[in-house]
Amino acid sequence: MSVLAISDVSKVFAGGTVAVERFSLNVADGELVCLLGPSGSGKSTLLRMVGGFEQPSAGVITIDGDDITRLSPDKRPTGMVFQSHALWTHMNVFKNLAFGLKLRKLPTAEIREKVEAVLELVGLAGYGNRLTHQLSGGQQQRVALARSLVLEPKILLLDEPFASLDQHLRERLREEVRDIQQRLKITTLFVTHGQDEALSMADRIVVMREGRSEQVDRPDVVYRNPQTPFVAGFIGSMNLVDGTVSNSQFSGAGLSVPLPVSDGPATLAVRPEALELVVADHGAAKIHRITDFGSHGLVDLDLEDGTRIKAMVAHPDLFSQGQSVDVKPTAIAAFRDNAQIYRG
Ligand SMILES: Nc1ncnc2c1ncn2[C@@H]1O[C@H](COP(=O)(O)OP(=O)(O)OP(=O)(O)O)[C@@H](O)[C@H]1O
């Protein structure tokens, strides 16, 4: 059952910037959905509209069937964690977490119980008396998460919550947040421009581009079966080659590949791991560079017209710089008019 329904929502800012355009999404109970897209694609604006920090220009947002489109943030059953956590520095951790509960006029004993439970949940049991500046960046971000969770929102909204943290900590917190989210079964909308974050955390990913959703699918489907060239190029590493199809044969940049679609222009998409290289005297590509990662190698290749593509190889020592090779795709997708026309 869907808890959050975003229907045909648009946001046009003063000055005419269209940040979000006719966006619709249903989020199921307990689901974690990532909004993934490049900078400026409208992710934060969309999240802020769900949280009530921004008003939609058009469209409706409902939670459990109730229209919340025009409600102020404090009247919504949502909890938002921002990129910069904005903890109250003059209060200790306990007071930061108790604040919202006090506003709700809960009895002191119950407040203490809830705060202690949520501190335990985020791995900060015993930190109640610390001042927030006595905490590390990761601990502060956990307090920010706890401050949202303690109010028991129906929907948790996370806006790049790990952006200010180093890579290692980010990976750890990613796992912790996913664990907590699954334990509480809390419906979550998560904004990120990091595809690793989205692929590792999400039940579903919304790939956003220029205020619109390009594809909504499970992470593995978004990766294996991108529906547009933008999604293909944005998620993971992908070689995109423009060309034309004639008599079921794709030609472009000196590559020739069977492609059983109607004649016309096409963009061929091939993952580096789906390109086989065969040393040949007058091959379609020339090896520009080989990078040996130990477990595998990555080969940069130049096609006839200078198009640079990448291939992943198991044994990089079999190849050498400057060598001429033929490239044989083992799995391809093809696109025309921004839509997938072939996959095989
Ligand atoms: N308050 C505002 N007034 C005018 N334009 C805005 C405002 N906030 C955002 N925008 C514009 O709306 C578009 C979408 O911005 P938004 O912050 O939602 O993108 P984003 O995908 O979250 O980007 P990032 O990953 O950089 O945070 C951008 O073109 C941005 O410049």
d(CA 146, CA 121): 8
Give yes or no: residues 146 and 294 share one domain.
no
CATH number, position 195: 3.40.50.300
Q: What global pTM score does this model have? A: 0.89
Distance 41 CA to ligand 1 centre (A): 7
Answer yes or no: is the C-beta of 48 below 6 A from any ligand 1 atom.
no
Complex prediction ipTM: 0.96
Answer yes or no: is the C-beta of 51 below 6 A from any ligand 1 atom.
no
Using the 3D structure, point to which of 231, 266, 298 is the last residue of a domain: 231
Domain limits at 6? 2-231
d(CA 252, CA 306): 11
Q: Do 45 and 53 form a contact (C-beta atoms < 8 A)?
A: no
Domains held by the chain: number: 2
Answer yes or no: is the C-beta of 194 below 6 A from any ligand 1 atom.
no
Give yes or no: residues 261 and 210 share one domain.
no
Buried b (16+ CB within 10 A) or exposed e, 176-185: bbbebbeeee
d(CA 286, CA 174): 40
Other Cβ atoms closer than 10 A to 122: 23
Per the prediction, the chain carries an average pLDDT of: 94
Q: Please give the number of the atom of ligand 1 that sits closest to the Cα of 47.
A: 18
Residue from 9, 21, 45, 53 whose mutation best tests the ligand 1 pocket (most atoms within 8 A of CB): 45
Q: Is the pLDDT of residue 85 over 70?
A: no
Give yes or no: residues 187 and 251 share one domain.
no
Give yes or no: residues 201 and 327 share one domain.
no
Give yes or no: residues 197 and 81 share one domain.
yes
Q: What is the pLDDT of residues 291-335, one digit of tens each?
A: 999 999 999 999 988 999 999 999 999 999 999 999 999 999 999
Give yes or no: residues 200 and 288 share one domain.
no
Distance 64 CA to ligand 1 centre (A): 28
- Average confidence (pLDDT) over 223-252: 94
Using the 3D structure, point to which of 216, 231, 246 is the last residue of a domain: 231
Using the 3D structure, point to which of 166, 201, 231 is the last residue of a domain: 231
At residue 157, the pLDDT reads: 97
Q: 175: buried, middle or exposed (CB in 10 Å: 19+, 13-18, 0-12)?
A: exposed
Q: Which amino acid appears at position 282 of this protein?
A: H
pLDDT band at 167 (very low <50, low <70, confident <90, very high): confident
Give yes or no: residues 39 and 131 share one domain.
yes
